[in-house]
Structure 1
Amino acid sequence: MVALDGPSGTGKTTVARKLADRLSAGYLDTGAMYRMVTLAVLRAGIDPADAAAVAGLADGVDLEIGTSPQRPGFRLGGEDVSAEIRGPEVTKAVSPVSAVPHVRELLVARQRRIIAEVLGEVGGIVVEGRDIGTVVVPDSPLKVFLTASADVRAARRSSQDTAAGRQSTVADARESVERRDRLDSSRTASPLRAAEDAVPVDTSELSIDQVIVALCELASHRGLLAGCSAEAAR
């Protein structure tokens, strides 16, 4: 198992999916789960800052999340919300929703069940998020904390928004990622931080393929998933 943490704009999702695919492992995007709850909150007309109301709604949220790195799939009440959960409204509201302790308790328990199921079925999984190595699976044999400079992260986020048809300048994107960092790092429940034994990987000057090679080498050094490095270099 690989626990992959880090702030937004570091390439977590792309790296996690490609790494899981390369390893023939399962994949879990825990951030998408918080985004689905956030979307449910917004659709219900609840103020994301109203912790009690958010907690009450979270108990009844019907979410489904796929664990295939090729097509993970995100369904809320049976509806595919893969695109909607990446929109600016959800992005702006996800931090306060994620900070609600009851929401985190519910989703962490769900994440642990999914991880156990996938490990039992396929033998391996790459899990990405912000508290995987510190809270969700602190006993993971390989914990990685991705980082990147603020400028690089802002440029990446702006490019992603533009590609998705959303207007975004680099300045807007930088303000967004820095705001998210402040909120995620300062929350009381499971703040964003690297686990003490996590390996930091700065992706600022690395291509996706270079990051994959670096992670495969780490996995090999830990005695995990033999042959990964050779496969990643192809």
Structure 2
Amino acid sequence: MNKFVVAAGTLMLSAWAWMGLSTAAENAVKLPAPAFDLPKGTESARETAVFAGGCFWGVQAVFQHTQGVLNAVSGYAGGQQATAHYDSVGTGRTGHAESVQISYDPKQISYGKLLQVYFSVAHDPTQLNRQGPDSGTQYRSAVFYTSPSQKEVAERYVAQLDAAKLFHGKIVTQLAPLTAFYPAEAYHQDYATLNPGSPYIARFDLPKIANLKSVMPEVYLDKPVLVSSQTAR
């Protein structure tokens, strides 16, 4: 995702289709729940998860439509504060990944269930340093865990999915401790909801929300939880 892609609109979308580029949104995979998970309600009243999987617009939108999510913020993780802004991250040389910080109620949804949404609907975990038309380390698949228990759930789930061979390739998702999360610029927040007519959003992100409703209806939330609604309180 970059300014050129957004501005190019329909012409660039036609070029992508001609080249046969696939997207995670078109290839959602129905996955089993994690065999090992943190029981609901055993954590605090509010927990945090941080996932990266391509352009943060679509990942944010998916989790804004997930029941039990209290807030989902687009931002950057994996690099330093000095380079945590869009123009620098876009070079692919900062160590950052476009990420989404998810605040959730563990009494309503478990960390493992969030991982199930992430691997099934939010992105394609077999693509290395790219998602659809977006390429570079800033678009890598990554789980930034915030605790040893999150690390264990993520490690076991990746092993479970690889063993089940439900994807067309091996999962390449990076598992790394979260050192810091930096919110992205205000214009990136709620982008998919605020710009449904954007050719990029229509082509790559709205299908992810539709797939969430189709593949995991038990967690689908029709009205998204927006960052703007949180700051308005």
* Normalised-by-shorter TM-score class: 0.3 to 0.5
Higher helix share: 1
TM-score w.r.t. the length of structure 1 is 0.33
Per the normalisation by structure 2, the TM-score is 0.33
